[in-house]
Amino acid sequence: MKKVNIVIVDDSAFQIALLRDLLTENGFNVIGEASNLEEVIEVVTNEKPDLVTMDMTIPGTDGFECTQEIHKIDPNIKVVIVSSMMDDEIVRKAKKLHVSGYAQKPVDGEELTLLINRVMADKELFSELNGLYSSIFKEALLNVFNKLTKTVPEITGESNINVEK
């Protein structure tokens, strides 16, 4: 897996430093940090991270509004909430905003590392499976025809039109 570029969003300089150290020690590349909405927009626009860790309490706004702004810039950027606040309403709203994961403070380094690796592997795994789909489908189809007709049909043309499969 390629090195994951991360931006940390938190209103506490202490928490940013803790997360930066924790993420760096676990092999991630921290490329930026932000503590308010304007900084979030600026750093995400300029740095194009793979993932953003998001605190819920941000001066003048909240983690949800920041997440919406991040997804306006690039909907493919993954957001993982790292916050001491956790209740059913936050989780429900986070799911609606396509947040990729949730870690509660104080953060366990191993837990956060596993969460980020899972979130990023999902994207890579989907791409890999998407690339393999056509050849696997073709092989399965040929096997079915072979079993039914005892012949091996020849495929003369292929199309990878992006439609539901």
**Span of 19-23, 31-35, 67-71, 93-97 with lowest mean pLDDT:** 93-97
The mean pLDDT value for 39-68 works out to 92
Residue 146's pLDDT band, with cuts at 50, 70 and 90, is confident
Segment 119-145, tens digit of pLDDT: 888 666 766 776 777 777 778 878 887
The answer, yes or no, to whether residue 162 has pLDDT greater than 70, is no
Query: H/E/C letters for each residue in the chain?
Result: CCCCEEEEECCCHHHHHHHHHHHHHCCCEEEEEECCHHHHHHHHHHHCCCEEEECCEECCEEHHHHHHHHHHHCCCCEEEEEECCCCHHHHHHHHHCCCCEEEECCCCHHHHHHHHHHHHHHHHHHHHHHHHHHHHHHHHHHHHHHHHHCCCCCCCCCCCCCCCC
pTM for this predicted structure: 0.73
